[in-house]
Each structure stands twice: as C-alpha cells, then as structure tokens.
Chains A and B, each alone.
Chain A
C-alpha cells in the first residue's frame, strides 16, 4: 500500500481544488441546514417528530432482541442500600386515603376487580434485589418484595387480557400514569411490590403498592398503583408526553 504521485499542471490543481471545495461547502451548508430543519419540525409527544420516529424505530429494533429470559443482574441483601433515593412525587397527592385503598384491575368497561392488600399478599412473595436505574443516569442497588406480576395474572385469570400488548397503570389521583409492553410486564423480575428492605413500603416509595420492573428505567416503576388495565394501544404515559421514549427498555 502506498500513495501514488503524479505530475500535473497548475490548472489541474486549481480545478480539482475548486470542485472539492465546492462539494465541501455544499456538505457544510447541508449539515447546518439539516440541523436547522430538524429543530423546525413539529413536536410529537414532546419530541421533535423525526427524533420521535427514531425512538419508536429503536423500540422496534431493540424490542426484537428483548428476551423474557434475559435477567437483570441480582445482588445480595448486603449490597442493597439502606437509604433509598426518592425521585419525583407526581401522582402522590396528600389527600390519599390508605384505609380505603383497593387495587382496581379494570378487565372491561364496568367489570373491575377490586383487590385489597390482603388479597395480594396471599400470593407467593418474590424478592428482587437489583440495580435500580433512573433515566437521569444514577443507579442504586435496592431490595424489593412483592408478587410477581406473572403470578398475579395467572392467579386472577387475566391471561387472556395480558395477551394484549400493553398494561396501563395509573395512580389513584390520576396524576401519574405509565404504559408498559406486556412482554416486559410478564418478566419474572417484574413485581407488584409492597415491601422495601423487608419492611412495608414507605409512603414516599409508593405505599401500599408500587411497580418494580427491572427491565425498565425508574420512570416506569409507578408508585402507589391505583388501577391497572390492558390494551392494544399505548396507554397514556406521563414522561412519554414530555418527550421521552415510550419503551424505556433496558
């Protein structure tokens, strides 16, 4: 491999330089133009439309490598932090009546299953100790206990509903809501969680019941579940509306 040498006229050098510089200038103008064009595009759910398409395309691409058997790394109780970070309180309004709380499983319009904490605790308990990852970039090894969502679905014979694409979860005050694909919901590490560090969930961590779903960023781990429902369309999602990826899959 070597570079070839040539003897050429000054006109050749001039012409080749001009042509190249012209193409180069067009390229620079094209790049600047493309950037400006991008920022003039309408927003779709808070994200610039082309970038929203990109996020959705990524969901399609990386959704295809998703396997329910891929587990998030687990840790021991000793690894888990005692001071668990609290991030965000959307949907956690003060006028919440814990005594009256029941989990609403909306099976169909007018057909809602109402479950108490005692009902849920009857199911076998699953503990998950994993590195909780916030979309902001921090992470924490945390220890949770609750009922596997897949066990829950089986026990309450929601199998057919869970065949739909998504589960939507909403806080009792409708202030926070997420939509999650059911392939991720049925993952063996996804739990309806009522314990943290072997104690009942603290209020600010979503007492009495929250979602823990290690294959998603923290934004999907909805605290204080009021109701859940199943659908084939993307359920409303709080951060999706604010420009974030819908999928948020890890």
Chain B
C-alpha cells in the first residue's frame, strides 16, 4: 500500500492545460502583430542592450508580413484565454482553493527562505501547505498579470469605446507597451516554471495530470499540512 495526496483538483488541471496552448497561440499571434511595429528595446539613449526583436529572430521563426493572420488569430483565441482565465479565477474563489495560492502574511518573508533554499544557500524549507511561499507569490502574480493582460489588451483593442480604460493605463502607447511587457513577464515566468518542474521531478509533474502525488512511506518528510493558516501566537485582540 502507498500513500497519496490529492493535490490538484480536476478543474484546475483542465484550466492549466487549456491555458498552456491558448497562451502559446496568443503569444505567437502577438508576435505576428508586434512585428509590424517592433519598436521596443532595452536600453537608454542610443545605447541598446537588447532589441525586441533582432531581425534574425523574426526570420528564424518566419514572423514577417503576417499581421492580418496574427490579428485574426489573436482576436479569436483571446476569448478562450479570457473565459478560461475568468472561470479559473471564479473556481479559485468558490472552491476556496485560493487559500492555498494567494499569499498570506508570512509569504513575503518565507519566499526569501525558499529562494535561498533553491539556491542551495539555506538547508531547510519553511513549513508549507500545497505551495511554498515563493510559489504562492509567483502564481498569484501570474494571475494578476493575466488580468492586466486582458485590461491592457482591451485598452489597445478599443481605445475609443473604452477610452476611460485606455486613459487609466496611461494612454494608447503606454497600454501597448504594458501589454508587451506583461508578455515578456509571462515568458520569464514560463521559463522559471518549466525549470522548477524539471527540477521537482516526475511525481510533481504527474500531479498536474493525474491530480495526485505519492508520498514517501515515512511521514516525517512529506508536505506538511498545518491545521490552519494562522500564526501560532495570536494576539489577544481580534
């Protein structure tokens, strides 16, 4: 007999795996659109550290002269991205699953300890539930970014009808830049996420497909599941 823990509810697994190809198509079609006015760069004055993107990048991926195709893809798949994301968020709220993902009071401090641990500077991980503090922060940030993606996207899609939104985001050109920056952040998240999943191994990865993880027979080292979320010492006033 073996011990397992049901880690990811079925719904979350579907949201996750639907989002993966849809976000990939959104970023891909976004690149097809961006190429037509690929003006962003990292640098100052005349100094450019990184151009978004070098010519070779566009050529290697065959991105050039596909603006119409990019727009038709982007404005189709945006619906799936938006609906999947919003339903996911509502699911988090109503299933109370958010309690395992949103950061709590300890998360900021503890995420440092997690990072130090991952960099092999610190030996032990702080006690955690489903996710450690760094994961809570990262996953919550990515949810917020998802919302910002929808908002900045809407602002550049309908800057006249939604002029209040466009103005709120700093105007048309800023909203476009923000939309682009969030894409880069998504991509950076993706890189770290994949590296961490590779590092965590099969049991963890399988969990996102089957929902469960097997636990070692020895109970002492498995994912600690504290009774509740509250700090041990509670102040007397409530």
**Residue B206 at the chain A interface, CB threshold 8 Å:** yes
Count residues of A near B (Cβ-Cβ below 8 Å): 53
Whether B6 pairs with A6 at a CB distance below 8 angstroms is yes
Whether A50 and B163, one on each chain, are in contact in the complex, defined by CB atoms closer than 8 angstroms, is no
Q: Which residue of B lies closest to A20 (CB)?
A: B210
- Highest count of chain A CB atoms <10 Å: which of B7, B75, B100, B129: B75
Interface 0/1 of B1-28, CB less than 8 Å to A: 1111111000000000100010001000
B37 lies within 8 A of chain A by Cβ: yes
Q: How many residue pairs bridge A and B at CB < 8 Å?
A: 140
Residue A207 interfacial (CB < 8 Å): no
- Nearest-neighbour CB distance to chain B for A218, whole angstroms, equals 12
Stretch of A115-123, A133-141, A222-230 that contacts chain B: A133-141
CB <8 Å contact, B69 and A243:
yes
Residues of B within 8 A of A21 (CB): 209-210
The distance from the CB of B207 to the nearest CB of chain A, in whole angstroms, is 10
Asked if A250 and B161 make an inter-chain contact with CB atoms under 8 angstroms apart, the answer reads: yes
Contact indicator per residue, chain B 26-44, by CB within 8 Å of chain A (1) or not (0): 0000000110110100000
| B106 within 8 Å of A (CB atoms) | no
Number of B residues with CB within 8 Å of any CB on chain A: 51
Within 8 A of B (CB), among A1-53: 1-10, 13, 16-17, 20-21, 24, 27, 31, 35, 46-48, 50-52
Which residues of B from 97 to 129 have beta carbons under 8 Å from A?
97, 99-100, 129
Chain B residues close to A by CB (< 8 Å): 1-7, 17, 21, 25, 33-34, 36-37, 39, 67-69, 71-73, 75-76, 79, 96-97, 99-100, 129-130, 157-161, 163, 166-167, 171-173, 176, 206, 209-212, 214-215, 223, 225
Q: Name 11 A/B residue pairs within 8 A (Cβ), A-sorted.
A: A3-B7, A5-B6, A8-B1, A8-B4, A10-B1, A13-B2, A54-B75, A62-B158, A243-B72, A245-B75, A250-B159
| A contact set with B: CB distance below 8 Å | 1-10, 13, 16-17, 20-21, 24, 27, 31, 35, 46-48, 50-52, 54-55, 58, 62, 65-67, 70-73, 131, 133-139, 214-215, 239, 242-245, 249-250
